[in-house]
Each structure stands twice: as structure tokens, then as C-alpha cells.
Amino acid sequence: MSHYHDSTDLQYLADVKAAAPREFAAWARLDGTVGIEDGAIPLKYRELIALAVAHSTQCVYCLDVHTAAAVKAGASRAEVAEAALLSAALRSGGAGAHAALTMKFFSQHSQEGTEEASA
């Protein structure tokens, strides 16, 4: 059995809708806000933001849908690539921040061990 991305997999959303119609409707309303043209953020930039977030959440289906929508909204190849790499930069920033916290925790645990050894 394979579990890889295939754009036809999105047809199975009908099964999700049938199984949980109320929750699906709520999710669909929220998800649908991305493609609204009359938001404060122009559609092209909404799609580029969605694309960058899709890279961070690692949703291959979102990558497919929002790449197509960004192109349709007028995004260039360079803008799509930049959105992906900005996402990568910010995602790695989270790892850097967690590295700093790890050092904080290490210091705390090292001090606890020292305090316990000297008691």
C-alpha cells in the first residue's frame, strides 16, 4: 500500500465530508478564506503566504493547490521559490530558538546536578 501524494487523493475529502459533515463545513469555511479576493491582503500575496505556510506544515496537497492558485493569481516562479525559502528560513529559526532553550535547560539541569552532588 502506498501513501504518497497524488492530486486525485483530494477526491477522498468527500468521504471526510460524509463522515463528519458539520465539522467539514466549518473547516471548509475557514480554509476558503485564503482565496478571497477582497481581503486587506491582495489575492496573490494571500496565496504566497498560504504556500509558505504549507511548506512549514508540510502539507503536500496544500503545496499543490496553493502553487496552482498563486500562479493563477499572477505569482512569478521567483516569488513562489522565495516563499518556499522564506518558510525554510523561518522554520530553521524555530530550531535555532529551541537550541537556545536546550542550552538553558542544560544549564538548569547541570546546576541541579551540581547542587545535588554538593548536598
Q: Which positions ≥6 away from 71 have C-beta within 8 Å?
A: 80
Residue 1 lies in a domain: no
- Res 32: pLDDT: 83
Give the CATH number, domain containing residue 81: 1.20.1290.10
Residue 2 lies in a domain: no
Residue 38 lies in a domain: yes
- Residue 85 to residue 79: CA distance in whole angstroms: 10
- Res 119: pLDDT: 59
- Residue 9 to residue 16: CA distance in whole angstroms: 12
- Res 69: pLDDT: 95
Residue 84 lies in a domain: yes
Mean pLDDT, consecutive 10-residue segments, the chain of 119 residues?
70 94 94 82 94 93 93 97 95 92 95 67
Query: How many independent structural domains does the chain possess?
Result: 1
The phi and psi torsions of 6 (rounded to 5 degrees) equal -145, 125
Residue 72 lies in a domain: yes
- Res 6: pLDDT: 79
- Res 115: pLDDT: 65
